[in-house]
Amino acid sequence: MPQNIDAQFARDFLSRLHEAVNAHDAAQVAALCCEDVIWDDPAASAPLRGRDAVCRFHQETMFRALPDVRIDMIDGPYLALDGKSISARLRISGTMTGPLDPPGFAPTGGPLVFETAEFSRFEGNLLSRHTVIVDMLGLARQIGAVPPAGGFGERVGLWGQHMAALLGRAGSNKR
């Protein structure tokens, strides 16, 4: 592979990665990573370090929560100016029939559809760092962890947040 990645490599790599996820093949996802990869995903309690951690995360978290998960490219890939990184915008969909743990969300049995922005850095032809950004508020609303926008539950939550902020400001003024 050339020193700098190009558009063809980016398209081919993402195609292989997404095919592995769509086939629910955790071992193949991990095989696309460097041995010491860092995979930062908000569905994990901390950044994953190493292929084994990436494999376990996909087996025990992602494929357990969304056993029919599917990834589709919305936009990209985009090449970074450093010649070693790419980004893409993706749509992830599936049915939440298993728990999302951490943090411990119960399965809803319903469909989920959310978007991510993903940033990938390479050493050679393998992922050395992968960062996933998720619209967590939208996802939390879909699974019922946050009430729908504009409803009574949101107004109660906002009132509670205003009270907590007021108490926090009052406490900081005493110092």
Question: For residue 86, what is the domain's CATH number?
Answer: 3.10.450.50
Mark whether 67 and 20 lie in a shared domain: yes
Mark whether 110 and 152 lie in a shared domain: no
Tell whether the model's pLDDT for residue 169 goes beyond 90: no
Mark whether 44 and 119 lie in a shared domain: yes
Look at 70-79, 97-106, 137-146 and tell me which has the smallest mean pLDDT.
Answer: 97-106
| Higher local confidence (pLDDT), 2 or 101 | 101
Mark whether 73 and 21 lie in a shared domain: yes
| Higher local confidence (pLDDT), 123 or 156 | 123
pLDDT score, position 164: 87
Tell whether the model's pLDDT for residue 168 goes beyond 80: yes
Average pLDDT over residues 32-39: 98
158 lies in some domain:
yes
Mark whether 133 and 155 lie in a shared domain: no
Per-residue pLDDT band for 175 (boundaries 50, 70, 90) equals: low
Cα 133 to chain center, whole Å?
6
Residue-wise over 46-79: b if at least 16 C-beta within 10 A, else e? eebebbebbbebbbebbbebbeebebeeeebbeb
Name the percent of the chain lying above pLDDT 90: 66
- Is residue 116 within a helix (H) or strand (E), and if so which, with residue range? strand 111-123
11 lies in some domain:
yes
Mark whether 131 and 154 lie in a shared domain: no
72 lies in some domain:
yes
Mark whether 163 and 119 lie in a shared domain: no
Average pLDDT over residues 137-148: 87
pLDDT score, position 157: 81
Tell whether the model's pLDDT for residue 2 goes beyond 50: no
Average pLDDT over residues 109-122: 95
How far is 54 from 14, CA to CA, in rounded Å?
16
2 lies in some domain:
no
Coil, helix or strand for 166? helix
Mark whether 87 and 167 lie in a shared domain: no
Mark whether 119 and 155 lie in a shared domain: no
- Token pair, residue 175, equals 């110092």
Among the listed residues 32, 53, 28, 27, the one whose alpha carbon sits nearest the alpha carbon of residue 41: 53
Residue-wise over 97-136: b if at least 16 C-beta within 10 A, else e? ebebeeeebeebeeebebebbbbbbbeeeebbbbbbebee
Mark whether 127 and 92 lie in a shared domain: yes
* Structural domain for 151, as ranges: 147-175
Mark whether 82 and 19 lie in a shared domain: yes
Average pLDDT over residues 121-127: 94
Average pLDDT over residues 139-150: 86
66 lies in some domain:
yes
What is the model's pTM?
Answer: 0.83
Domain tally for the chain? 2
93 lies in some domain:
yes
1 lies in some domain:
no
Average pLDDT, the chain: 91
pLDDT score, position 151: 84
Mark whether 71 and 118 lie in a shared domain: yes
133 lies in some domain:
yes
